[in-house]
């Protein structure tokens, strides 16, 4: 607490030199507090920068690992990785770095457990960054086969190490399958509404208050500015923004159907 330095300084000054010393000690303590606060701010800023670096590095390295974990990297998996880079709007320099991390993840030198451990150390205290990371990996792994046992096992290890429920994989897979089905076939208004409830993670049977509560919670959890402040790399803002837009669109549809103001 910033008051500790002031109290300590005043106490020491009072003992040494009486009332005048107490005033001088209070001033010294004040500057001590300012120094501690500044050092803490610098440390926090440094950790956030490192968190962003680790998030970016782990995202593409693990994508490469999952692509190669079954023994071969398919053209679909390479295309999926390129699509992520395109959606992120990476510069040429950033693309080269992402490719470098992706290739490192494919190599025999890559230590999967160590990298996931590093990610947990820097980003594990934010469940929303963790979920975004897991979603990216599942969607990328789904480019080839959802039920590949090697990929499935690796995804389960990720969830276990990052302390997220394994049923998150099934939940994201179900949502992704629904999105794919809607692309293949013309989506009816009923399909659109069902998908909207799925995006908000609620049942059609809940009341309006529950709809609003779920929406506000998701907005709070997934706002891009908040995620960036907690360590999301700026390169990943586009994905976070897309997610926010899907949440907003889902809520607006449900609100219109229910007459929620």
Q: What is the pLDDT of residues 235-254, one digit of tens each?
A: 667 777 778 888 888 888 88
Cβ proximity of 254 and 193 under 8 Å: yes
Q: In this structure, what DSSP letter does residue 202 have?
A: -
Main-chain dihedrals φ then ψ at residue 130, nearest 5 degrees: -65, -45
- Dihedral sign (CA 130, 140, 138, 113): negative
Which residues fall within 8 angstroms of residue 221, CB to CB, at 6 or more apart?
127, 128
Which pLDDT band holds residue 33 (cuts at 50, 70, 90)?
Answer: low
Cβ proximity of 73 and 103 under 8 Å: no
User: pTM of the entire structure?
Assistant: 0.63
pLDDT in tens, 127-169: 878 888 888 888 888 776 666 788 888 888 998 898 887 777 7
Which pLDDT band holds residue 100 (cuts at 50, 70, 90)?
Answer: very high
Confidence (pLDDT) at 62 = 94
259: alpha, beta or left, given left = phi > 0 and alpha = psi -120 to 50? Answer: left
Confidence (pLDDT) at 24 = 44
- CATH no. for 49-185: 1.10.3680
Assigned architecture for domain 186-261: Orthogonal Bundle (1.10)
For residue 218, how many other CB atoms are within 10 A of its CB? 22
Which pLDDT band holds residue 113 (cuts at 50, 70, 90)?
Answer: very high
Chain mean pLDDT for the chain: 76
Q: Say yes or no: do domains 49-185 and 186-261 share a fold.
A: no
Which residues fall within 8 angstroms of residue 135, CB to CB, at 6 or more apart?
172
Which pLDDT band holds residue 21 (cuts at 50, 70, 90)?
Answer: very low
Higher pLDDT, 216 or 199: 216
Could you tell me the two tokens for 67?
A: 């692509």
Between the CA atoms of 70, 72, 78 and 79, what dihedral angle is there, to the nearest 10 degrees?
Answer: -80
Domain ranges of the chain: 49-185, 186-261
């Amino acid at each position: 607490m910033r008051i500790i330095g002031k109290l300590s300084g005043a106490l020491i000054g009072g003992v040494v030199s009486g009332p005048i010393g107490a005033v001088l000690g209070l001033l010294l303590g004040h500057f001590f507090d300012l120094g501690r606060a500044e050092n803490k701010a610098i440390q926090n800023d440094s950790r956030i920068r490192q968190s962003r670096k680790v998030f970016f590095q782990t995202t593409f390295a693990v994508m490469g690992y999952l692509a190669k974990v079954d023994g071969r990297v398919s053209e679909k998996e390479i295309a999926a990785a390129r699509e992520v880079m395109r959606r992120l709007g990476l510069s040429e320099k950033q693309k080269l770095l992402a490719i470098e991390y992706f290739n490192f993840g494919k190599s025999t030198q890559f230590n999967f457990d160590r990298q996931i451990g590093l990610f947990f150390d820097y980003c594990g205290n934010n469940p929303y960054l963790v979920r975004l990371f897991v979603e990216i990996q599942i969607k990328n792994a789904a480019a080839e086969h959802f039920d590949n046992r090697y990929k499935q096992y690796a995804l389960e290890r990720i969830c276990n190490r990052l302390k997220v429920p394994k049923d998150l994989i099934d939940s994201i897979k179900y949502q992704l399958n629904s999105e794919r089905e809607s692309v293949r076939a013309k989506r009816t208004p009923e399909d659109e509404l069902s998908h909207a409830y799925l995006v908000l993670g609620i049942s059609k049977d809940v009341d309006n208050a529950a709809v609003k509560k779920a929406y506000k919670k998701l907005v709070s959890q997934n706002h891009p500015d908040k995620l960036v402040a907690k360590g999301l790399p700026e390169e990943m803002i586009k994905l976070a923004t897309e997610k926010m837009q899907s949440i907003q669109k889902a809520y607006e549809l449900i609100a219109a159907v229910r007459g929620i103001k």
